[in-house]
Amino acid sequence: MSAATVAAPPSLSVSRHRDATATDPALVKRAVRAAALGNAMEWFDFGVYSYIAVTLGKVFFPSGNPTAQLLSTFGAFAAAFVVRPIGGMVFGPLGDRIGRQKVLAVTMIMMAVGTFAIGLIPSYATIGVGAPVLLLLARLVQGFSTGGEYAGATTFIAEYAPDKKRGFLGSWLEFGTLAGYVGGAGLVTLMTALLSTHDLVSWGWRIPFLIAGPMGIIGLYLRMRLEETPAFAAEVEKAETNRPKVALREMVSGQWKALALCMALVLIYNVTDYMLLSYMPSYLTSELKYDETHGLLVVLGVMVLMMIVQPFAGMLSDRIGLRPMIGVGCAGFLVLSVPALLLIRQGSLLAVALGMGALGLLLVCFTAAMPAALPALFPTRVRYGSLSIGFNVSVSLFGGTTPLVVTALIGATGNMMMPAYYMMAASVIGGAAVWFMAESAGRPLPGSGPAVERREDARR
């Protein structure tokens, strides 16, 4: 079935003059809001899973060794990333055939179901080994659905955004990520403060996962109200005459240079992201014996700081370019990872806040620029598919495994500075990718004409 037979015709909200496109600003805002909400729900779940990892270890992996419990919990966390490339290979090409909006609605449903199911699983004490098995199955459903989520959301926003505002509008996608983390961290912090350890282990841990049900319904409603992107609609028009179906092999072998750059950029982006927002709460608690509530509050404060800076950094990326923004982040992590972790290891609240804050501000260089930079690596006809494959393979190999690998490295070497060394190695790879990538800020996406805000600009 070709895209021409299943995709909706171009909307009246989109004005097209020759090769230039102007999209209704209200429609652009709806698209950004719906995409960001889906990302917020995905990372609300991942955030909660990370912040409450110690408790989940007690519920699903009983053991006399706290480190073994934590490793088992992060192992289940990493398992979801094994199937992410499979989800990307299914949803990505599908998004290039039937449309971005339809696939994003499906991934929203699957994410909500997988997260909600975790909140219903009985504990190990109740059903034995069946508990971790069911947890693993739920995580696999989540991982499969997220294989098509982030690439689809970035593609959706990038194809709606005017060229001169792609960085700013794309930054709101990661604003949704941070909002999801803040919601998850805030809820876990509140529960940790209000509930006893017994209540948290027996029933309290379920609450954050059960919230995914109503969140998913809201997100699905918003996404079903969206129209298809102008860039995809233009491809549908071409498909009626001369565009054949794109094979999966073409999305890989035909885009191998762009895929290599994509994987390297995603590596530095996700290693630092998962290190700071997913691993560090457990690092503070398990490795540094830091008070659990205070550690969560510090991370929550860092994420709020990042949320405040995020839109301004997105606007800055439109002015100075995406390459300089990402390059500053890579250089910063190379130089400041060790000093920041040494500050954190001092243990005082001020030192931990300063070290985490410095890493958080460096991470904003990636969260503000990557949603605009990654889709611009690929032409419209293969953008969703190629980006899904490159993004998810890199996340699966390097991002989602970060907590597990760093925990194992610390256990094997006894060196508490491993998180800093790991981020420095990632920054070298990211810096090499920045050197070879082309600047795309303010320029049309590959395979598309100029995208502007006003109809008179499109006419010109």
304-313 pLDDT tens trace: 999 999 999 9
Alpha carbons 260 and 258: distance in angstroms, whole number: 5
pLDDT digits (tens, 9 = 90+) for 16-60: 555 667 677 778 888 888 888 878 877 787 667 766 777 777 788
Mean pLDDT throughout 294-319?
89
pLDDT value at residue 457: 56
Q: Confidence band (pLDDT; 50, 70, 90) for 147?
A: confident
Mean pLDDT throughout 282-303?
76
Q: Confidence band (pLDDT; 50, 70, 90) for 439?
A: very high
Nearest to 160 by CA among 269, 33, 334, 344: 33
pLDDT value at residue 3: 37
Cβ-proximal residues to 275 (8 Å cutoff; 6+ apart), any chain: 402, 403, 406, 419, 422, 423
Mean pLDDT throughout 354-367?
95
pLDDT value at residue 77: 67
pLDDT value at residue 293: 65
pLDDT digits (tens, 9 = 90+) for 391-418: 988 988 887 778 778 888 888 888 889 9
Can you list the domains of the chain with their CATH numbers? 23-440 (1.20.1250.20)
Q: Which of 88-92, 149-153, 254-258, 335-339 is predicted with the least confidence, judged by mean pLDDT?
A: 254-258
Alpha carbons 60 and 73: distance in angstroms, whole number: 8
pLDDT value at residue 1: 36
pLDDT value at residue 4: 37
The HSE-up count of residue 214 (CA atoms within 13 Å, CB side) is 4
Q: How far apart are the first and last CA of the chain?
A: 37
pTM of this prediction? 0.84
341 vs 414, residue with greater confidence = 341
Q: Report CA Rg, the chain.
A: 21
pLDDT digits (tens, 9 = 90+) for 253-286: 778 899 999 999 999 999 998 888 778 877 887 7
Q: What average pLDDT does the structure give for the chain?
A: 82
Token digits for 420? 């800093």
pLDDT value at residue 202: 86
Nearest to 88 by CA among 398, 384, 399, 401: 384
Highest averaged pLDDT of the listed ranges 43-47, 75-79, 135-139:
135-139
Token digits for 324? 């300089």
CA distances (Å), origin 460, targets 6, 26, 138: 32, 22, 52
pLDDT value at residue 8: 41
46 vs 3, residue with greater confidence = 46
